[in-house]
Amino acid sequence: MKILVLGSGGREHALLWALKRTSSAPLQLYCAPGNGGISQLASCVPVSAADHSSLIEFARMNDIDLTVVGPEGPLAAGIVDQFEHAGLKIVGPSAAASRLESSKSFAKDFMRRHKIPTAAYAIANSAAEALDLLRGGKFGAPQSPVVVKADGLAAGKGVIVATSPAEAEVAVKELSSGTVVAAEASRQLLIEEALQGREVSLLLFADGRDYALMPAARDHKRVGDNDTGPNTGGMGAITDASVLEAETLNAIVRDVVEPTLEGAGQEGFPFRGILFIGLMLTANGPKVLEYNVRFGDPETQAILIRLKADLCQLFQAIVEGDLGKMSVEWSDQSSACVVLASKGYPGPYETGFRLSGLDRIVTGDDLQVFHAGTSRAETGDYLTTGGRVLGITAAGATLPQALGSCYRAIKKVTWEGMQYRRDIGQFNEKLKANNV
């Protein structure tokens, strides 16, 4: 089997590692464009994941059996439709189904049509309309928090949780200015009721008919310890039985997962690929914050280290519509991924620093170093190329054991300006202690 993975982050490194580790058949792995760490596992192809026609040509010329898409951009731009049109097999949703992520207003109206619990919202077609909505007093008392979102894809920069409608007015101006988020993405703005509670990421495999859940994960979005500072792509993730109790999971399956998949089918875009549901567990039950139509980063690193099923077969089953015949097994462990990032991230940062100590980490099935932003020099040294650089990922019998493995490994590696959160998973322990 020849498999091509599209993307260049820690998520894609984890996908390639899990493909290799779980496959019963020999695999030849390719990644476009990949990164320094990925180059040790797969042949890196210097083509951007946005260059669909070159990717189709590469897949044809090299007899690629299956392509797996990491990031949302190519999905929203219709890469799956184009590969299928060219007779090539690819894992991911169509452009029509990808609107669940690429248009927040589409996703919210979809949830309203299918009675899927989510925050109250209104859609504005201009900044002026958004300001009118805020001044209309529909979103709570003058001091209550309110959320402003750009409709389109914004690489995590399109959501501002404002502490009051007055602050939200500033957010509307910022999002619609075309500086933080592309004008294209902020043509429509959403104003939402701010929800309170614990956040959970629930991912699943779907083939348009059947689905299989992955272990629920918790992301750590803020850059600083104790959830302080700006939002990032994610500074760490955990999986653990305490992330989502069985009873709440059952309610989410009944009220969110099944209505979403059934709704997509009814509306003519059966969902085939990976669906990521971001939820807030509120006092009034679980509510959807957002859909993503792809694997999460860094959730995927923490999730896939526990996968026991054959990932290649799973991907084939998604394409063939055979998921119902597969049993998807996971190890009975907890897991954690701690992201090591460049100084300054998520703001501007410098790159090109040499990593040291990586060879001192003894990796195995329960401890992996996934590369998110590195290149490999001719000397064999790794250099930083991105904001998020490495994701140290471990599984263990308990969450503290998995975290212990991550943090012991982190002590061995460094570069100039390396930053990371010291409290990944701690918040979870605190919540548990306080019975939240």
Given the rule CB under 6 A, which residues bind ligand GLY? 219, 234, 292, 296-297, 299
3-state secondary structure of 190: strand
- Based on the shown chain and the rule CB under 6 A, indicate whether residue 278 belongs to the binding site for ligand AMP: yes
3-state secondary structure 59-113: HHHCCCCEEEECCHHHHHCCHHHHHHHCCCCEECCCHHHHHHHHCHHHHHHHHHH
Query: Residue 307 contacts by C-beta under 8 Å, 6 or more apart in sequence?
Result: 18, 22, 328, 329, 330, 331
Provide, rounded to whole angstroms, the least separation between the CB of residue 289 and ligand AMP.
5
CB of 369 to ligand AMP, least distance (A): 26
With beta carbons less than 8 A apart as the criterion, state whether 311 and 212 touch.
no
| Residue number with CB closer to ligand GLY (287 or 294) | 294
Whichever of 37 and 296 has its CB closer to ligand GLY, that residue is: 296
Q: Which of residues 12, 101, 192, 240 is near ligand AMP by CB under 6 A?
A: 192
Q: What is the longest distance spanned by two Cα atoms in the chain? A: 62
Residue 234 neighbours by CB under 8 Å, 6+ apart = 219, 220, 221, 296, 297, 298, 299, 339, 388
Distances in Å between the alpha carbon of 99 and those of 109, 208, 290?
A: 11, 16, 12
Peptide bond into 298 cis (omega under 30): yes
CB of 279 to ligand GLY, least distance (A): 13
Taking CB within 5 to 8 Å according to partner kind, which of ligand AMP, ligand GLY, none is near residue 147? ligand AMP
Closest listed residue to residue 65, CA positions, set 322, 326, 316: 316
Residue 199 interaction partner, one of ligand AMP, ligand GLY, none, beta carbon < 5-8 Å per kind: ligand AMP
- Using CB under 6 A, pick the residue from 45, 47, 86, 194 that binds ligand AMP: 194
Return the one option of ligand GLY, ligand AMP, none that residue 86 interacts with (CB less than 5 to 8 A, by type).
Answer: none
CB of 6 to ligand AMP, least distance (A): 21
3-state SS assignment for residue 297: coil
Closer to ligand AMP by Cβ: residue 90 or 134: 134
- Write the binding mask 292 to 331 for ligand AMP: x where contact by CB under 6 A, - elsewhere: ----------------------------------------
The three-class DSSP label of residue 4 is strand
Give whichever of 297 and 423 is closer to ligand GLY, judged by the CB atom: 297
Q: Residue 388 in contact with residue 418, Cβ under 8 Å?
A: no
In whole angstroms, how close is the CB of 7 to ligand GLY at the nearest point? 11
In the structure encoding, which two tokens stand for residue 189, read together? 């703005």
Structure tokens at 347: 């703001």
Single residue of 4, 29, 56, 159 touching ligand AMP by CB under 6 A: 159
Task: Kindly state the smallest distance separating residue 299's Cβ from ligand GLY, in Å.
Answer: 6
Member of 107, 190, 191, 195 binding ligand AMP (CB under 6 A): 195
Binding site for ligand AMP (CB under 6 A): 119, 147, 159, 161, 192, 194-195, 199, 221, 278, 289-290
